[in-house]
């Protein structure tokens, strides 16, 4: 088989195979970063902290954003309240709603977990060649473009 110089020359089957390989690699990296880089919080609770960063929200808003049921989100936020990472306050305009926001401990946890995740990735990059790092730098731009569409 002759070498391909651009994706425009790839057949439909080759594009399907490439898209599958990239999707699986991204999923594996995402899963490993979430599960192996820290043991402090389950990934869904970390995601809630990140969604509350700088923007207080209701359980309903968080459930919609995370695409989970309201009872599931309530369990997640209740656990975070118990840990002292999230504070509850009555909504001044709607007595039926509760506004959730990050506490200072929640902000610290968010920074700590992100730092662990960055360190986990960095430890993998340290073993790559300069050429591999350069390739990943270019690929990051392309993958960001794919993710934004």
Under 8 Å between Cβ of 31 and 73: no
The pLDDT value given to residue 8: 64
User: What residues does 98 pair with on adjacent strands?
Assistant: 90
Residue 33 lies in a domain: yes
Q: Let me know if residue 136 belongs to a domain.
A: yes
Q: Which residue in the block uniquely carries the two structure tokens 């700590």?
A: 112
| Position 127 in a domain | yes
**Domain assignment present for 62:** yes
How confident is the prediction for the chain on average, in pLDDT?
A: 90
The answer as to whether 3 is a domain residue is no
Give pLDDT, residue 94. Answer: 82
Query: Can you give the CATH number for the domain in which 60 is found?
Result: 1.10.10.10
* Residue 6 counted as domain residue: no
Structure tokens at 141: 């731009």
Q: Is 29 a domain residue?
A: yes
Classify residue 54 by its DSSP letter.
Answer: T
What's the pLDDT at 111?
A: 95
Report pLDDT digits (tens) over 44-63. Answer: 999 999 999 999 999 999 99
CB environment 25-59: b (16+ within 10 A), e (fewer): eeeeeeeebbeebbeebeeebbbbbebbeeeebbb
Q: Which residues span the domain enclosing 110?
A: 14-148
What's the average model confidence in pLDDT over 22-31?
92
In a domain, 9, yes or no: no
| Total tally of structural domains belonging to the chain | 1
């Amino acid at each position: 088989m002759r070498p391909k110089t651009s994706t425009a020359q790839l057949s439909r089957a080759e594009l399907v195979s490439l898209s599958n390989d990239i999707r699986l690699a991204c999923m594996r990296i995402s899963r490993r970063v979430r599960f192996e880089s820290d043991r402090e919080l389950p990934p869904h609770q970390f995601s809630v902290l990140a969604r509350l960063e700088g923007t207080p929200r209701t359980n309903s808003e968080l459930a919609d954003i995370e695409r989970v049921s309201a009872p599931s989100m309530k369990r997640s936020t209740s656990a975070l309240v118990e840990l002292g990472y999230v504070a509850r306050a009555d909504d001044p305009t709607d007595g039926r709603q509760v506004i959730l926001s990050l506490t200072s401990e929640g902000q610290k946890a968010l920074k700590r977990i992100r730092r662990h995740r960055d360190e986990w990735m960095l430890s993998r990059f340290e073993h790559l060649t300069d050429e591999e790092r350069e390739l990943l730098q270019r690929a990051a731009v392309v993958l960001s473009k794919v993710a934004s569409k």
